[in-house]
Amino acid sequence: MSEMRIVLCRPSHPGNIGASARAMKTMGLTDLRLVAPERFPAKEDQWMATHAADVLQRTRVHGTLVEAIGDCVAAFALSARPREWSPQVLDVRAAAARAAQIDGPVAFVFGSEEAGLTNEEAFACQYLVHIPASAGATSLNLAQAVQIVCYEWFLAAGASIPAARTEKRATVEDIEGLYAHLEQAALKSGFYVPESHSKLPERLRRLFSRVPDLEREEVNILRGLLKALIGK
Confidence of residue 13 (pLDDT cuts 50, 70, 90): very high
Of 131, 156, 181, the residue at which a domain comes to its end is: 156
Report if residue 164 sits inside a domain: no
Report if residue 161 sits inside a domain: no
Beta-carbon contacts of residue 171 (< 8 Å; ≥ 6 apart)? 216
Confidence of residue 1 (pLDDT cuts 50, 70, 90): low
* The pLDDT of residue 37: 96
* The pLDDT of residue 39: 93
Report if residue 205 sits inside a domain: yes
* The pLDDT of residue 85: 64
* The pLDDT of residue 81: 75
pLDDT single digits (tens) 155-209? 998 877 776 677 899 999 999 999 999 999 999 999 999 888 899 999 999 999 9
Range of the domain at 80: 2-156
CATH number at residue 63: 3.40.1280.10
Confidence of residue 231 (pLDDT cuts 50, 70, 90): confident
Shared-domain flag, residues 16 and 119: yes
Shared-domain flag, residues 10 and 59: yes
- Asked if the model's pLDDT at residue 43 lies above 70, the reply is yes
Of 102, 121, 156, the residue at which a domain comes to its end is: 156
Shared-domain flag, residues 78 and 148: yes
- Report whether 208 contacts 178 (CB < 8 A): yes
Report if residue 220 sits inside a domain: yes
CATH number at residue 199: 1.10.8.590
Shared-domain flag, residues 40 and 150: yes
Shared-domain flag, residues 101 and 196: no
How far apart CA 22 and CA 29 sit, in angstroms, is 9
Confidence of residue 139 (pLDDT cuts 50, 70, 90): confident
pLDDT single digits (tens) 176-187? 999 999 999 999
Report if residue 71 sits inside a domain: yes
Shared-domain flag, residues 144 and 92: yes
Shared-domain flag, residues 111 and 75: yes
Shared-domain flag, residues 43 and 139: yes
Shared-domain flag, residues 201 and 98: no
- Asked if the model's pLDDT at residue 84 lies above 70, the reply is no
Shared-domain flag, residues 194 and 87: no
* The pLDDT of residue 163: 67
Of 106, 125, 156, the residue at which a domain comes to its end is: 156
How far apart CA 146 and CA 131 sit, in angstroms, is 10
* The pLDDT of residue 173: 94
Report if residue 167 sits inside a domain: no
Shared-domain flag, residues 118 and 181: no
- Report whether 33 contacts 62 (CB < 8 A): yes
- Report whether 81 contacts 130 (CB < 8 A): no
Report if residue 162 sits inside a domain: no
- Asked if the model's pLDDT at residue 3 lies above 60, the reply is yes
Between residues 136 and 133, the one the model is more confident about:
133
Report if residue 141 sits inside a domain: yes
pLDDT (mean) for 69-83: 90
- Report whether 11 contacts 61 (CB < 8 A): no
Confidence of residue 113 (pLDDT cuts 50, 70, 90): very high
Reduce the DSSP state of residue 105 to 3 states and report it. Answer: strand
How far apart CA 204 and CA 170 sit, in angstroms, is 16
* The pLDDT of residue 225: 94
Q: Into how many domains does the chain fold?
A: 2
Shared-domain flag, residues 107 and 208: no
